[in-house]
Structure 1
Amino acid sequence: MTRTPETPLPSPKECRRLREAQSLSQADVAAALGVTRATVRSWENGRTTPRGTNRDAYVRLLAGAEEVTPHQENPAPALVGAATGPVQASPDRAEPAPEPPSETPSASELAPEPDPELGPDPARGPELSPEAEPEPLSPSLTPDQAFDALYAFCAPALVRQTYLLTGRRELARESVECAFQLAWHRWPEVAMDRDPAGWVRATAHEFALSPWHRLRPRHRNPEPPPAAPADRALLDVLLQLPPVYRRTLLLYDGVGLDLPETAAETEASTPAAANRLLHAREAVATRLPELAEPKELHRRLAEVASAERLHAAKPTTVRWGGEQRARHWTRAAIAFTVVLIGATTLTLRTAPDHYEPPLAPGATVHGVPPRVAPGPLSAEELALRAKLKGETVSGPERLVPEAG
C-alpha cells in the first residue's frame, strides 16, 4: 500500500507570519480547524506538527485559498492529540465529538464545556494560568533579563497552583523559589527547552509534593485554612485526594493542559491520567455536588487560588538566592574533596608497604614428656646449699695447692 505524501508545511515562524498577515488570531484558527488554541500555539512554536486532515486544512487556511470546514468534518478529539504547551481553559477550548464508550475514558467525557466567563476578570483576581501568551524573547536579552521575564510571567500563577497542591502558603512560595533557583542554575538548559514554563512548573510541583516535608518541624502543624467556608471545603477535598490525583486534576481542570501533556508531566500513560482525572472529579463531586461540572470546578479552583494573596519574591532575590546556594554547594564539595584527599594521604603514609604473612596457628606436638616441678631436696643437696650460703658473696674460695 503506497503512503500518500503529506502536504508541505511552512516553518513555524512562517506559519505565524501567514496567520498574522490575514489578521487571524490563534483562537480563530483553532475554531476553524476544530482544535484547541493550545494546539495551534504548539504548531507555531514548533513543538508539534499537524497531521492528516488537520495538516491539509491548516495549510489551506494559511494560504487563504478557501474556507475551511468546521469541526464537524474533523471529529478527531483535540484533547488526545499532540502534546501542547500550558494554556488556560477558555472559550477557545473546543469540544470534541462524542465517541463510543470504551474502557479508556474518551476526551469528550473529560473536556469541560466552553464558558465565556472563564476569561480574565479583574474583580475575580488572577487565574491559575495567565491568559495572554508571552511574546517571544528577543535574542538581544541578557540571561538575567530573560530569566526575569520568565519569572514575572510564571511565578504569580505558579505560587497559586502550588498552594492548591499543598494547602501551605510558605511551602508554595518556597517550592516556586527553589524551582526557579534550579532553573537559574541550569539556565542554558532551561532557556533552550521547548517549554521553559512547563519545566519550572514540573520542578515546583515535584518539590511541593515531596514526602520529605513531613519530617520538617514547621510543616507538622497545619496552617490556617481559607476564610470563606466554600473555599475551605474545596481545599479540604483537594488535600484528601492522593497527591498524583490532585496534581492531575489541577493540571487539567485548573491550569488547562491537554490530556497527553497532563499524562507526560505526571509521568503516566494517557489512559492512566484519564482514569486518575475521572476518579478525582468523582471524589470532588461526591463531597461537593455543585462542582460536578468541569467548568464550574475550574472557576472555583481559580477563585480559591485567587482569594489567597500570595506574592512571589522578586526575581533578583531568587537569582541571588540561587547563586548563594550554588556557592555553598561548591564550597561544601571543595571541603569534602579536601577531606577525602587528606584521609587518603594519611592512609597511604601509615599503611604497611610490604606484605607480612600471618602467623600460623599453633599445633599440638606429641611424644614430648610434660615439664614437672622439682621435688623435695635430699640431705646431700640441703648440705650443699647450706655450704654455698655460708661462703662469701664473691663466691667460693679458690683452691690453692700447698707446697709439698
Structure 2
Amino acid sequence: MTRSTTDEAAVPPLPSPKERRRLREAKSLSEEEVAAAVGVTRATVRSWETGRTNPRGRKRALYAKLIAPEPAAKPPAVKPPAAKSPAAKPSAVKPPAATPEAAVPDAAVPEPADLPVAPPVPEAPPAAPPADAPPAPDPAPDSDTRSGAEAPDERRVSPAEAFDELYARTAPGLVRQTYLLTGRRALARESVERAFELAWQRWPEVAVDRDPAGWVRAAAYEYAMSPWHRLRRTHRQPDAPPTEPGKRALFDALLDLPPAYRRTLLLYDGVGLDLPETAAETEASTPAAAGRLMTARAAVAERLPELADAAPAEQSALLHDRIGGLARAEHVPVPRPARAVRTGSENKARLWTRAAVAGVALLIAVTGLTLHTAPTHYEPPISPPERVGGVPPRGGPQKLTAQDLRLQKSLSEQLAHGPERLVPRLE
C-alpha cells in the first residue's frame, strides 16, 4: 500500500455536501478562506459543497480537518447498578454537530433582519445505536432458544420498500410544488417521475443522503426548469390559471418571477427551508439567496395588497399559507405507482445499457472493416492528360497505308522481266 492510500484511509469520511456548507458557515469561514487554506480555487470549494466533486489526497485531509466540528465534552461514564433494568441506563450523548441547529448557529449565518427563518425539519432517529452505547446485559439462561431470532422492530427494510415509502410520502406534494414552479401540470408530473427514476438508479447514494426528499426535490426542480422544454409543443404555454381572483393573482405573480427567484421563494416560504438550506439547494451564496428572496417578496406584494401592508414576520406566514392553499386547491395529476416508476427506471437503464453495448460493437465492427479494406501502401494518383502545344511532329518512316501494303506485296510476288544484270569482268 502506498503512502497516499494510507493517508486517504486515515482521513475520516466527509459529510454530505449540504453538511459541508453548514459546518463551514458554523465556523464563520468564507469560501475564499477555505480555498486559501487548502490551496485550491473558490470554484473548487463550491463544487465540493454542491456534491459535483470530492477532494482527494492531501487536500481531502486538510479540508476534513478544516471543517471538522469541535468535539463535544463527554460526560463521565457511570456504570449502572446491577439491580436496574437496561432501560434505566444512560443514553449516549449525540455530538452537537450532527443536528442542523448546532451545525448552523444564528451568529454564523448573516441573515437580514426582515427575513424570519422557518423552523428546521427534525431529523429522523438513527437506525443503529451509537458506538459508545453501553453493552447490553447478558441474556437470561431461559432465552438461549430465542437468541438467534430477530426482534419484530429490527426487521431489515429492503431498498424497494424504502423507495416506495419515500415515494408515497413525498411524490404527491412534490407534484404540487413543481406545478407552482412551472405552471404546467403534465410537466410537473413528468419532472417528479423523472426525478424518482433517477433516484432509483442511484439509490445507494440517495439512501445514505442526509435528506433524500431534498435530493429528489432538487432533481425534479432542475428537470422542470430546463429551458429545452420550450421546444416541446405540449409544454410551450402554461395551463389555464385558477378562476378565483386571489389565487389567480398569486399564480400570475409567481410565473412572472425569474426562475431562480421563483425557486428561492417557493423553497423558503412554500416548503419552509431555512436560508442556508435554500442557498445550498439553489447553488447560491447565503447573501445572494437573501437578496433574491426580498426581491421576489416585493414583486409578489405588488400584486397582493394584503402582503404589502403586513410586517416582514407576518408576510412570511401569509405567503406560506397562500402558497400552500394554492397548491392544495389546484387539481394536479396523480403520479404513477411506485412500482411502475421503479420498473420504468430499470427498463430505461437496461435500454441505455444495451444501446451503449450496441454502439461499442458497431464502432468495433466499423473499425475492423476499415482496417481490412484500407490500402497498405501509398499509390500516387495519375494526373489527367493535357493538350501540349509547340511539340514538333515525329520524324522517320511513316506508317504504310493499305494501298502501300498491297503494292509492296504485288511487287514482291512478280518476277522481274528484262535483261540480266551485267557484271563487269576484268580482262
> CA 1:290/1:179 → structure 2, altered by over 3 Å: closer, same or farther?
same
Pair 1:296-2:303 in alignment: no
2:219 equivalent to 1:199: no
2:328 to 286, 294, 306: 306
* Structure 2 counterpart of 1:140: 156
How far did residue 228 of structure 1 move?
Answer: 2.1
Q: Secondary structure at the match of 1:326?
A: helix
Q: In structure 2, which of residues 338, 356, 361 is the aligned counterpart of residue 315 of structure 1?
A: 338
Letter in 2 for 1:281: R
Q: Structure 1 residues 270-279 or 186-195, which shifts more? A: 186-195
Seen in structure 2, the aligned counterparts of structure 1 residues 107 and 200 have a Cα distance that, compared at 3 Å, is same
Give the 3-state SS of the residue equivalent to 1:313 in structure 2.
coil
Structure 1's unaligned 5+ residue stretches are 11-19, 22-39, 55-75, 82-103, 115-128, 375-380
Q: Which residue, 241, 244, 248 being the options, matches 1:225?
A: 241
Tell me: CA distance 1:143–1:7, structure 2 relative to 1, closer, same or farther (3 Å). closer
1:230-257 alpha-carbon deviations (Å, 9 max, x no partner): 1111111100100000000011111111
What is the Cα deviation at residue 217 of structure 1? 1.2
Q: Give the match for residue 102 of structure 2.
A: 50
Q: Kindly provide the amino acid, as one letter, of the partner of residue 244 in structure 1.
A: A
Q: Is the 8 A contact 1:77 1:108 kept in 2?
A: no
Match of 2:391 in 1: 370
2:106 is the alignment partner of 1:77? yes
* Mapped pair 1:154 → 2:170: yes
Residue 233 to residue 9, structure 1, CA distance change in 2 (3 Å): farther
Residue 187 of structure 2 is matched in structure 1 by 171
Q: Contact 2:261/2:293 (CA < 8 Å) preserved in 1? A: yes
Letter of the 1:209 counterpart: M
Residue 343 (structure 1) shift: 1.5
Q: Which runs of 5+ in 2 are unaligned?
A: 1-69, 76-86, 89-93, 128-153, 309-314, 421-427
Residue 341 of structure 1 pairs with residue 341 of structure 2? no
Residue 149 (structure 2) aligns with: none
Give the C-alpha shift of residue 353 in structure 1: 1.6
Closer, same or farther: CA 369–214 of 1 in aligned 2, 3 Å:
closer
C-alpha deviation, 1:164, in angstroms: 0.8
Q: TM-score, normalised by structure 2?
A: 0.60
Q: Which amino acid aligns with 2:330?
A: E
2:59 — aligned with what? none
Query: Hey, what's the Cα distance between the residues in 2 that align with 1:223 and 1:205?
Result: 18
If the length of structure 1 is used for normalisation, what is the TM-score?
0.64
- The amino acid of 2:73's aligned partner reads P
Taking a change above 3 Å as real, the CA distance of residues 192 and 356 of structure 1, as seen in their structure-2 partners, is: farther
CA offset at residue 108 of structure 1?
A: 2.7
Counterpart position of 2:412: 397
**Equivalent position of 1:326 in the other structure:** 349
**How far has the Cα of 1:387 moved from its partner?**
6.5
AA partner of residue 295 (structure 1): A
Q: CA RMSD in A?
A: 4.0
Separation in structure 2 between the aligned mates of residue 385 and residue 301 of structure 1, nearest angstrom: 109
Single out whichever of 290-299 and 240-249 deviates more from structure 2. 290-299
The one of 182, 187, 199 equivalent to 2:203 is 187
Contact 1:388–1:396 (8 Å) recurs in 2 = no
Query: What is the CA-CA distance between 1:7 and the residue it aligns to?
Result: 3.9
CA distance in 2, matches of 1:262, 1:198: 10
Following superposition, the deviation at residue 349 of structure 1 comes to: 1.4
Q: Which residue is equivalent to 2:73?
A: 8
Q: 1:252 to 1:9 in 2, by over 3 A?
A: farther
Structure 2 counterpart SS, 1:109: coil
Counterpart-to-counterpart distance in 2, 1:339 and 1:396: 77
1:227 and 1:338 map into 2 onto residues whose CA distance is: 57
